[in-house]
Amino acid sequence: MTMMKRFLAYYKPYKKALAADLLFAALASAAVLAYPLLVNYMTTMAISDQGIQLPLLLKAIAVFALLMIVEYVSHF
């Protein structure tokens, strides 16, 4: 525990940067995991009797764009 306290003492001046870094790392991880779920959902809807309807397609495109933005921002 004392080692952790000493380690965190070095990051005290950079608390905001560390928090932002951890936040974007978590968002990037979630974005990477969301791609297969999105593709699975879209293929399931395409195979079903209903087919892909325009509102669903637009929502999927919006989610995909949001995931791409999160990944792009997290790499900086």
48-58: pLDDT as tens digits: 777 667 777 78
pTM tops 0.75: no
Q: Which domain holds residue 49?
A: 16-74
- Residue 11 inside a domain? The answer is no
Radius of gyration of the chain (CA): 19
Share of the chain above pLDDT 90, in %: 0
CB 51 within 8 Å of CB 57 = no
Q: 5 in a domain, yes or no?
A: no
Chain centroid, CA 62 distance in Å: 13
Residue 40 lies in a domain: yes
Q: How many domains does the chain have?
A: 1
Is 37 part of any domain? yes
Q: What burial letters (b/e) apply to 7-18, b meaning 16+ CB within 10 Å?
A: eeeeeeeeeeee
User: Is residue 51 domain-resident?
Assistant: yes
